[in-house]
Amino acid sequence: MPRIIVFCSPKGGSGKTTFCQNLLPLAAQEGFNTLGVDFDPQQTLTKWGRRRLATLEGRADLAAFDVLPADILNDWHAVQQAAQGHDLMIVDMLPSVDHCLPQVLEVCSAADLVVVPSQATMNDADSTGPWLTRLAEMGVRVAAVLNRANEREVFVRALKEQFNRLAPLCPVTVRSLSDAHLGHVDGLSAADNPRSKSRPDFLAVWDYVRREAGLAPARRRGKVA
């Protein structure tokens, strides 16, 4: 079975899909045989993955991986079967977990790491804090990561301290950068572009997440656009 990394938060728009769109290429660039799993009924990651397949036809330099659309209510067993033979599964959870909580918790319990992205606002913290506590109390290996945040703001520092009391916190805060969604129209992301300003942020998150999920570092192949 592959290692399983799940991006899951009870708050919509926290950055789950954006992290998947960057960490999937970064993992594949390092030579991990990686599968993306899209539990969002809107299939944002799936549609992006299909556009990527079309782009890849003319671009042998880009890292490749499959994205599997799946229904959180019925498909977890089939997803696990499909993932056999891969090194790594990266799961994009749906925006709201309330109507399918048992299924979401089952997937989280099977994960080597659940990453909970959060924007640095009080509204986000109101949802993210209890979710981190709940997962940690279940014995799930969990990590918070702050997204779209400015380290220099006093509130961001206070939030980091609060999250760090509840669960492990990724030491790298991802900045709010307009090129975080660079290339999405072609199924690409900042991770595919060495000139992207946000690529180093996502690369640092990947380094943290990979280690926390127990994946040994692979040789960095530098396979970027």
Ligand X SMILES: Nc1ncnc2c1ncn2[C@@H]1O[C@H](COP(=O)(O)OP(=O)(O)OP(=O)(O)O)[C@@H](O)[C@H]1O
CB of 140 to Mg ion, least distance (A): 20
Q: Stretches 14-22, 66-74, 77-85, 124-132: which one binds ligand X (CB under 6 A)? A: 14-22
Residue 46: left (phi > 0), alpha (psi -120 to 50), or beta?
Answer: alpha
* Helix segments in the chain, DSSP class H: 16-29, 44-56, 76-83, 101-110, 122-137, 154-166, 199-212
CA distance 3 to 111: 7
174 binds, among Mg ion, ligand X, none (CB under 5 to 8 A by kind): ligand X
Interface with ligand X (CB under 6 A), residue from 3, 16, 86, 160:
16
Instruction: Determine the length of the chain.
Output: 225
Binding at 148: pick from ligand X, Mg ion, none (beta carbon under 5-8 Å per type): ligand X
Check: CB of residue 147 under 8 Å from CB of residue 15: yes
Rule CB under 6 A: say whether 176 interacts with ligand X. Answer: yes
Site for ligand X in 179-208 (CB under 6 A): 180-181
Is residue 147 near ligand X by the rule CB under 6 A?
A: yes
**Beta bridge pairs of residue 119:** 147
Residue ranges binding ligand X (CB under 6 A): 12-18, 40, 95, 147-148, 174, 176-177, 180-181
